[in-house]
Amino acid sequence: MKFKNKVVWITGASSGIGEALAYEFTHEGAKTILSSNEPEELEGVKKRCEEMGGESCVLFLDLLDTPSLGEATKKAIEKYGCIDILINNGGISHRSMVHETDIDFDRRIMEIDFFSYIILTKSLLPHMLERGGGQIAVTSSLSGIFGFPLRSAYAAAKHAVKGYFETVSIELRDRNIFVTIAYPGRIRTNISLRALTKDGKPQGVMDKGLAGGLPVEKCAKIYVNAIYKKRREVLIGGRELLMAYIRRFCPRLFWRLVGRVSPV
Model confidence at 40, pLDDT cuts 50, 70, 90, reads very high
pLDDT digits (tens, 9 = 90+) for 55-69: 999 999 999 999 999
pLDDT digits (tens, 9 = 90+) for 120-131: 999 999 999 999
SS (H, E, C) the chain: CCCCCCEEEEECCCCHHHHHHHHHHHHCCCEEEEEECCHHHHHHHHHHHHHCCCCEEEEECCCCCHHHHHHHHHHHHHHHCCCCEEEECCCCCECECHHHCCHHHHHHHHHHHHHHHHHHHHHHHHHHHHHCCEEEEEECCHHHCCCCCCEHHHHHHHHHHHHHHHHHHHHHHHHCEEEEEEEECCEECCHHHHCECCCCCECCCCCHHHHCCEEHHHHHHHHHHHHHCCCCEEEECCHHHHHHHHHHHCHHHHHHHHCCCCCC
Q: What architecture is the 7-258 domain classified under in CATH? A: 3-Layer(aba) Sandwich (3.40)
Model confidence at 231, pLDDT cuts 50, 70, 90, reads very high
Pairing of strands 56-60, 85-88: unpaired
| Average pLDDT taken over every residue of the chain | 92
Could you tell me the pTM of the whole model? 0.93
Model confidence at 184, pLDDT cuts 50, 70, 90, reads very high
pLDDT digits (tens, 9 = 90+) for 139-170: 999 999 999 888 899 999 999 999 999 999 99
Mean pLDDT in residue range 98-118? 93
Mean pLDDT in residue range 77-104? 92
Per domain, the residue ranges of the chain are 7-258
Q: Which residue numbers are catalytic?
A: 154
pLDDT digits (tens, 9 = 90+) for 194-229: 666 667 666 666 566 667 789 999 999 999 999 999
pLDDT digits (tens, 9 = 90+) for 71-85: 999 999 999 999 999
Is the pLDDT at 232 greater than 70, yes or no? Answer: yes
